[in-house]
Structure 1
């Protein structure tokens, strides 16, 4: 599988480690940088490129996934999620890595290079890459709602139960 990877200075060491580990595991890794340590670099420069590459390949029918890395992983996740078609999940355990793929069909994973041990973060990424989307109807429906909103900017309709609750609440305001 092709894996696009990007980071910032705080994630550079982990990115370099993951690049080697993933290549050794048989993945084709495309490194979007940075390539040298610069304490003043900006994560969007590298993470947006990694996410754009994943989105482009998936739009063409490919199965590429992505990894973005920073100190906490928060900003990197936010950057990746700005790219149309990307669902990037910040993971902090094997369970969140599994759920990101099984339930959310996340196509990019974000990890914080300063949050866990190197072994743990490597395992989170490996688990993410090895886990498939479940395809359950409820998850497909929810992902569809997100994709529709991303395109149309129209909110999904409220379920009847939410409308009944709103009507009950406003009836009590008399």
Structure 2
């Protein structure tokens, strides 16, 4: 499995912990995020993640900013991206089962680090259910 990850300054600590988790799971990582807490623009780090997902260069993306909103909005501008802004593992599970989310947006200022790590595990472990959800996904425009 290959994951692209991107973050702004608000998500640096979370990104570093998530990268550690993914490495412990032998998952290949492409890190587009900043490694500092110096102020940066989230879009500069989200666009490369969304591009990798769009191009099928990775299986999934994970993006992290303060609220998760700006990062999610940016990612969802890309074709073939279904980015879910989540704040509990239950919402993460539904985003995978019902929406076939391929990018997880984490709001670093609103979830704890242990919650974020559980959300990542849930995101990676939960398959898309298909069925009635598939026809709904097909109604999401790709342009």
Q: Same fold (TM over 0.5)?
A: yes
- Give runs of ≥4 in structure 1 deviating > 6 Å: none
Deviation of 1:25 (Å): 1.5
Query: More relative contact order in 1 or in 2 (CA 8 Å, sep 6+)?
Result: 2
Q: 1:92 aligns with which of 73, 87, 93?
A: 87
Q: Give the 3-state SS of the residue equivalent to 2:56 in structure 1.
A: helix
Q: What is the match of residue 138 of structure 2? A: 144
Q: What is the match of residue 48 of structure 1? A: 47
Q: What is the match of residue 162 of structure 1? A: none
Deviation of 1:35 (Å): 2.6
Larger radius of gyration: 1
Q: Give the 3-state SS of the residue equivalent to 2:134 in structure 1.
A: helix
Which structure has the highest helix share of the two? Answer: 1
Task: Give me the CA root mean square deviation.
Answer: 1.2
The superposition leaves residues 83-113 of structure 1 with CA deviations (integer Å, 9 ceiling, x where unpaired) of 1110000111111011000000000000111
Q: Give the 3-state SS of the residue equivalent to 2:80 in structure 1.
A: coil
CA distance in 2, matches of 1:145, 1:78: 19
TM-score normalized by the length of structure 2: 0.95
Q: What is the match of residue 59 of structure 2? A: 64
Deviation of 1:37 (Å): 2.6
**Structure 1: stretches of 5+ with no match in the other structure:** 152-174
CA distance in 1, matches of 2:142, 2:28: 29
TM-score normalized by the length of structure 1: 0.79
Map of 1:18-33 to 2, 5 A cutoff? 18-33=18-33
Q: What is the match of residue 78 of structure 1? A: 73
CA distance in 2, matches of 1:123, 1:2: 18
**Structure 2: stretches of 5+ with no match in the other structure:** none
